[in-house]
A and B are shown apart, each in its own frame.
Chain A
Amino acid sequence: MEFAELIKTPRVDNVVLHRPFYPAVEGTLCLTGHHLILSSRQDNTEELWLLHSNIDAIDKRFVGSLGTIIIKCKDFRIIQLDIPGMEECLNIASSIEALSTLDSITLMYPFFYRPMFEVIEDGWHSFLPEQEFELYSSATSEWRLSYVNKEFAVCPSYPPIVTVPKSIDDEALRKVATFRHGGRFPVLSYYHKKNGMVIMRSGQPLTGTNGRRCKEDEKLINATLRAGKRGYIIDTRSLNVAQQARAKGGGFEQEAHYPQWRRIHKSIERYHILQESLIKLVEACNDQTHNMDRWLSKLEASNWLTHIKEILTAACLAAQCIDREGASILIHGTEGTDSTLQVTSLAQIILEPRSRTIRGFEALIEREWLQAGHPFQQRCAQSAYCNTKQKWEAPVFLLFLDCVWQILRQFPCSFEFNENFLIMLFEHAYASQFGTFLGNNESERCKLKLQQKTMSLWSWVNQPGELSKFTNPLFEANNLVIWPSVAPQSLPLWEDGVSLCHPDWSAVARSRLTATSVSQVQAILLP
């Protein structure tokens, strides 16, 4: 297919662009295969380059022959284009619609993008599982790398290399895989060097209604316990939901079969409940009525901050088990690809100083989200404005970033990166020129040959010039465990992340002020 077929009108003059935080600009609108570009063709005005894949929804309306297209982006921005001529406007609108909803991944921009910078370090090789393993293999000999999933045959959503207890052979792993949802047998997520305790994660056990059991599964997770020690299983679903799962062949670990483990249920929401929460939140942020009661009740009704509190609490609990109780834990929900990863990754932020550095955080995302098989392609297909709701869309990753922001706010000096880093990751998860967040798991990424055909986000981010934008000037390495407060009074709304779009004039002044404050801090630090 040629993009040209989809572009009915490639160019329109005298288009006026309205967007929050900027004065209106008049210029020429161009459509390319992947971008919408508006340029005033004057030297000192900024151009707009918008990826079609960033477009969540469009509205069009007409007043006489003047058409207006309102573009709602996945990063919550709302921009408006005034286009003279009804035909041009209709053509542009239908082209944008077609180009922003291309079916084939291989038509996406990352496959066409040619970087303008010299690649110093290839991000595709920055965080290899072998290197990550070396970080703790000096401290323990109880774990090994297994290549049992080399061909993605045992578990389609796992990477080819996983870390498992040394005493468990690949044959046993294959058996355990048949007992766990999606073949996701328990693997190592985090090793706490201080006391040797570990976080493992998996899919739910397939016990079903008749209480099926799997000796190898029991052996595997018991292999992680020291003699006489007990461990905790954190199920991210409420007991009720977990019990219901048995009817569909899923379930949870029975005490009788896992006597050394105590099960704790937490209730973290999933799928459409989260998506609806985001839609309501963004809708509330865009409400222009300046009515305080309405705002507070809409914020409450969105439940967004309730989700934040639930996820953070579960992560704190996991960290507490490891660091305070000296107990190893296994975490899973149903599939083990969403709430499970929120909890394992946030627990590491709390426990592990390295994950609060830029590279450590990148490694964490690579390990706990990309390799661990969080289905980015499905979850981030649409954002808060889209009308066609799909069951698998959910802002799971955004909630994780929001939780990180909450901890960062409570420990502003303990993170090497700043808020912009989190916002950048959010934007690239939804629309990007890089291949990092394409596909739903390693297996899909391999088939797409992303390493050969696209550029890694990390190749770009880790250039010194780019890194400086994401560095927290107040950072001071902190080797301690950081315990955040999860009281509602301590969890504010992440305005800059969630209401990026706000088209209010004084918000401009404010954001500029914050920007100057940061540069002032930098000036103080680097006299």
Chain B
Amino acid sequence: MEHIRTTKVEQVKLLDRFSTSNKSLTGTLYLTATHLLFIDSHQKETWILHHHIASVEKLALTTSGCPLVIQCKNFRTVHFIVPRERDCHDIYNSLLQLSKQAKYEDLYAFSYNPKQNDSERLQGWQLIDLAEEYKRMGVPNSHWQLSDANRDYKAAICRCSQPLSGFSARCLEDEHLLQAISKANPVNRYMYVMDTRPKLNAMANRAAGKGYENEDNYSNIRFQFVGIENIHVMRSSLQKLLEVNGTKGLSVNDFYSGLESSGWLRHIKAVMDAAIFLAKAITVENASVLVHCSDGWDRTSQVCSLGSLLLDSYYRTIKGFMVLIEKDWISFGHKFSERCGHLDGDPKEVSPVFTQFLECVWHLTEQFPQAFEFSEAFLLQIHEHIHSCQFGNFLGNCQKEREELKLKEKTYSLWPFLLEDQKKYLNPLYSSKSHRFTVLEPNTISFNFKFWRNMYHQFDRTLHPRQSVFNIIMNMNEQNEQLEKDIKDLESKIKQRKNKQTDGILTKELLHSVHPESPTLKTSLCFKEQTLLPVNDALRTIEGSSLADNRYSEYAEEFSKSEPAVVSLEYGVARMTC
């Protein structure tokens, strides 16, 4: 608490990020040990976890006060105006301190207490067991194989980091290992080695004594570059994307030229193309594939996990997706803490590698709406928690570091909490049967890649559709289930009564008594406040205030400019008005 000097500031304004007429909400700002909280005059709460803060900025003083702009890692941007500069300065300094911790032990996960005892905590950590997973894949066996879906192929995905070959070095043991991998595949005698980097980068690495496999030294390998850019390119690409879509009064042309020059979708497509190449090598050619990049924990993780997702429908379930993340990301040493900037560290190590993976998965869910057990909300929630530092799963940079931190004793695992809430993340269109054994073959024509509005604007509610088809179908499913249950109950009641006596009066009575029990269908499904994202989660309270939601100010600048009297008509009107 030593960083907090001011805990409460009144009369703070929260500006609408996209409003051209500078609409705002007035309320009180609170600073706690873990969160920044804003409560507006309608009692709507906006919670911001300190760990989610990517940057805090104090802008030049204006007549109405001191502006404070906070950008979050979950793509929330808030713009406060604090009446007194002194308060603003205090809050600013506190947030700078609180958002950048020096030690793991100061992260939220080490103080977060969901009121579970030790055995519950341990059970939570044991929920996802990788030894189980390899067993499920049928490894080890006489050859090894990838998965159930892939039983007939007998090909495997392997991963590693780049060889330290330089210009001429070779390693016989490495060559033998690769030979062993390709021999383990009884069907096909050659294997692919995929280098996920652009060729130029890989060649540059040779000068540093690293590089890529020389096809002449390895028997039966086919070498392939797939050209995914490095973490630095990805970081600045996302930065550009966020600059573009944060612009007020953005025109269509600026949006698309910004989207193009950011290169973001091109990078997403490159990752997807690589995963498709991998999946095709395995399904079409029955060839094993060895994937690597430079270190083997970024691009390699992206490609291997996406490839697995294409090949094996198990990973498209809620539980399976958790296993996939544990296997290809956490256990293989994706440096979550560095890439997400959990601690105050080298900003050059931060990169949205995992976010890109989630976005690729989202594109797949868009192309194959029935193939995934989970919905977009699940991906968004996972994204929220790789940055929240609320659970232990993503802390640390490798397995070794995690064991040293004693995460399993001192923190909780995210997965049991997600699993408990899985209802919120179900995809109502999921059809487990039709896709059980199919390999997904996504179409990568450019226009299938779209800007993921629900990720990059997840807190900008004015930009979203007003009714969510998913939620409505979910509700309908629930109602149907309830009705079917009611029918069964009633039928069994009728049976019971019939057994006792077959009196006409009783049936009448029965029918009469049934009526109040039937579920209420009166409430309209569509026009309740609908949040696109999971609700009731204290950490993701969404500012849905009707004032901030007014859209029409953006239609007509003319009104607000010349006739201030008219602007006052905007107050407090819902997005759908009677």
Contacts and interface: CB of A to CB of B under 8 A. Distances in A.
A482 B576 contact: yes
A258 interface: no
Interface in B460-481: 462-469, 472-473, 476-477, 480
A288 B446 CA distance: 9
Contacts of B245: 489
Given A291-B446, A296-B260, A483-B551, A524 B252 contact: no
Given A489-B245, A506-B443, A513-B370, A483 B575 contact: yes
A480 B260 CA distance: 38
Interface string B347-375: 00000000000000000000111100000
Contact of A413 (B463, B467, B556): B467
B472 A292 contact: no
Contacts of B254: 488
Contact of B554 (A487, A502, A524): A487
Contacts of A290: 444-446
Contacts of B447: 285, 295, 299, 493, 495, 499
A61 B67 CA distance: 67
Bin chain B's interface residue count.
35 or more
A524 B476 contact: yes
B441 interface: yes
A300 B257 contact: yes
A140 B511 CA distance: 48
A509 interface: yes
Interface stretch (B122-130, B523-531, B537-545): B523-531
A303 B265 contact: no
Contacts of A194: 578
Contacts of B476: 524-525
Contact of A296 (B256, B468, B558, B575): B256
A488 B255 contact: yes
A411 B449 contact: no
A523 B473 CA distance: 11
Contacts of B556: 264, 317, 320
Contacts of B488: none
A300 B260 CA distance: 9
Interface string A396-427: 00000000000001111110000000000000
B569 interface: yes
A482 B465 CA distance: 11
A403 to B, nearest CB: 13
Interface centre among A285, A295, A411 (most CB of B within 10 A): A295
Interface in A474-527: 474, 476, 478-493, 495, 499, 502, 504-507, 509-510, 513-514, 516-517, 520-521, 524-525, 527
A303 B447 CA distance: 16
B461 to A, nearest CB: 10
A292 B466 contact: no
A305 interface: yes
A295 B465 contact: no
A510 B526 CA distance: 27
Contact of A324 (B451, B472, B552, B575): B552
A486 B480 contact: no
A294 B469 CA distance: 32
A453 to B, nearest CB: 42
Contacts of B259: 296
A293 interface: yes
B445 A502 contact: yes
B467 A316 contact: no
B576 A480 contact: yes
Contacts of A478: 526-527, 576
Interface in A450-478: 474, 476, 478
A316 B466 contact: no
A323 B369 contact: no
Bin chain A's interface residue count.
35 or more
B570 interface: yes
B526 A414 contact: yes
B429 interface: yes
Contacts of A527: 480
A415 B431 CA distance: 27
A317 B555 contact: yes
A44 interface: no
A493 B569 CA distance: 33
A303 B462 CA distance: 24
B512 interface: no
Given A297-B257, A299-B256, A325-B569, A487 B464 contact: no
A313 interface: yes
A296 B265 contact: yes
Contact of A292 (B449, B457, B464, B526): B449
Interface string A30-74: 000000000000000000000000000000000000000000000
B269 interface: yes
Interface string B434-451: 100000011111110111
A306 interface: yes
Nearest to A302: B256
Interface in A365-415: 409-414
A309 interface: yes
Contacts of B446: 287, 290-292, 294-296
B577 interface: yes
B551 A474 contact: no
Contacts of A489: 245, 250, 255, 451, 453, 457, 463
A197 to B, nearest CB: 13
A513 B465 contact: no
Nearest to A499: B447
B473 A507 contact: no
B13 to A, nearest CB: 22
Nearest to A291: B446
A476 B524 CA distance: 8
B253 interface: yes
B378 interface: no
Given A413-B472, A513-B370, A480 B577 contact: yes
B408 interface: no
A490 B253 contact: no
A520 B429 contact: yes
Contacts of A520: 370, 429, 431
B23 interface: no
A309 B252 contact: yes
Contacts of A414: 467, 526
Given A412-B465, A504-B445, A506-B442, A324 B266 contact: no
Nearest to B371: A513
Nearest to A351: B577
B18 interface: yes
A4 B407 CA distance: 85
B131 interface: no
Contact of A483 (B251, B463, B569, B576): B576
A489 B451 CA distance: 8
Contacts of B429: 517, 520-521
Given A474-B472, A510-B443, A488 B251 contact: yes
Contacts of B527: 478, 480
29 contacts: A290-B444, A292-B260, A293-B260, A296-B256, A300-B257, A300-B260, A303-B253, A306-B252, A309-B251, A317-B556, A320-B556, A323-B577, A324-B570, A325-B559, A410-B466, A414-B467, A480-B577, A483-B575, A485-B463, A485-B551, A486-B551, A488-B256, A490-B453, A499-B447, A505-B443, A506-B441, A507-B443, A510-B367, A517-B429
Nearest first, the 9 closest Cβ-Cβ pairs linking A and B are A295-B446, A506-B443, A480-B576, A300-B256, A488-B255, A296-B260, A292-B266, A316-B555, A306-B252
Given A300-B257, A309-B251, 10 more contacts: A290-B444, A294-B446, A297-B256, A297-B257, A412-B468, A480-B577, A485-B464, A486-B554, A504-B443, A510-B367
Interface of B: 18, 245, 250-257, 259-260, 263, 265-266, 269, 367-370, 428-429, 431, 434, 441-447, 449-451, 453, 457, 462-469, 472-473, 476-477, 480, 524-527, 551-552, 554-556, 558-559, 566, 569-570, 573, 575-578
